[in-house]
Amino acid sequence: MAKGKKKAATAPESPKLKNKDYLEQLRKLHVELVKLQEWVIAKGVKVCIVFEGRDGAGKGGTIKALTERVSPRVFRVVALPAPTDREKSQMHVQRYLPYLPAAGEVVIFDRSWYNRAGVERVMGFCTDEQADKFLKSIPWVEHAIVQSGVILLKYWLEVSPEEQTRRLEARINDGRKTWKLTPMDLKSYSRWYDYSRARDEMFKHSDTEHAPWLVADSNDKRRARLNIITDVLSRIPYEDVKREKVELPKRQKPGKYRDPDYPYKRVAEKF
């Protein structure tokens, strides 16, 4: 460092959000998501939310937080497996199109057609030429999706290399998380900067006015979930749907019914 020059100050990191505070805020957002669900159904709205990011960025936890208090028949999560030989011969985006929302649906893609710009390109599952052709064509495809009346939201979860390492090590050492760690995750982990270059190229071509990329810092997973759900709600012009007050009807009297003397096979009460 040159004499007399001071090192630029970096902003201190915010402390991790406490679980109590997180759950309190999440509860409020869940109420709003239920309101959004009722509005989507009543108005026949079509919403598509795409989640992308590196392995360990927190996509799964964010999607779970987004969907845990709403109906899976309205909020549908799509996480496609590896393509079949037939699907490999199709136009890349073709196998995703049947999953786009119909009226009254919110479809959430846990990874999407952008696999071609990310994992497929980095891991050699497609050629650079195929990836480039995809990136040139996808803005037109997304424009057609938006023109058809779909509200399209695209989120990229950004995680630091240090935090990614911590999370992937947790998958190795925590018996509840071992299923999350795949051989592909390990190969991807070693290619951090290849993924960085692929991400930058993806943003360059597909961060458009009609379908912009929305980037969330996910080093603190709880803050990221709250920020993303809040952002989703802010970008969809939902309104309260009037509901009649609900009261439980009177339960019928037993009449001649008697509880049966049946030898039920009971679940052992160990707790």
pLDDT in the model for residue 8? 47
Q: Find residue 52's DSSP bridge partners.
A: 156
Range of the domain at 141: 37-235
pLDDT at 4 over 60: no
Query: Considering the chain, what is the average pLDDT of its residues?
Result: 93
Cα-only R_g, the chain: 23
pLDDT in the model for residue 184? 82
**In 3D, which of 31, 35, 25, 28 has the Cα closest to residue 236?**
35
Residue 170 lies in a domain: yes
pLDDT in the model for residue 13? 65
Tell me the per-residue pLDDT of 16-45, one tens digit each, with 9 for 90 and over: 889 999 999 999 999 999 999 999 999 999
d(CA 172, CA 15): 26
Residue 141 lies in a domain: yes
pLDDT in the model for residue 3? 53
d(CA 32, CA 256): 46
User: What's the average model confidence in pLDDT over 141-159?
Assistant: 98
Residue 45 lies in a domain: yes
User: What's the average model confidence in pLDDT over 147-153?
Assistant: 98
How far from the centroid of its chain's Cα atoms is residue 197's Cα? 22
Residue 242 lies in a domain: no
Residue 247 lies in a domain: no
Q: Find residue 152's DSSP bridge partners.
A: 48
Residue with tokens 């270059």: 197
d(CA 131, CA 114): 10
pLDDT at 174 over 70: yes
Residue 153 lies in a domain: yes
Least confident of 12-21, 25-34, 108-117, 207-216: 12-21
3-class secondary structure, 247: coil
Task: Residue 175: give its domain's CATH number.
Answer: 3.40.50.300
Tell me the per-residue pLDDT of 57-72, one tens digit each, with 9 for 90 and over: 999 999 999 999 999 9
Q: How many domains, in total, are found in the chain?
A: 1
pLDDT at 2 over 90: no
3-class secondary structure, 22: helix
Residue 70 lies in a domain: yes
pLDDT in the model for residue 180? 83
pLDDT in the model for residue 12? 56
Residue 30 lies in a domain: no
pLDDT at 9 over 60: no
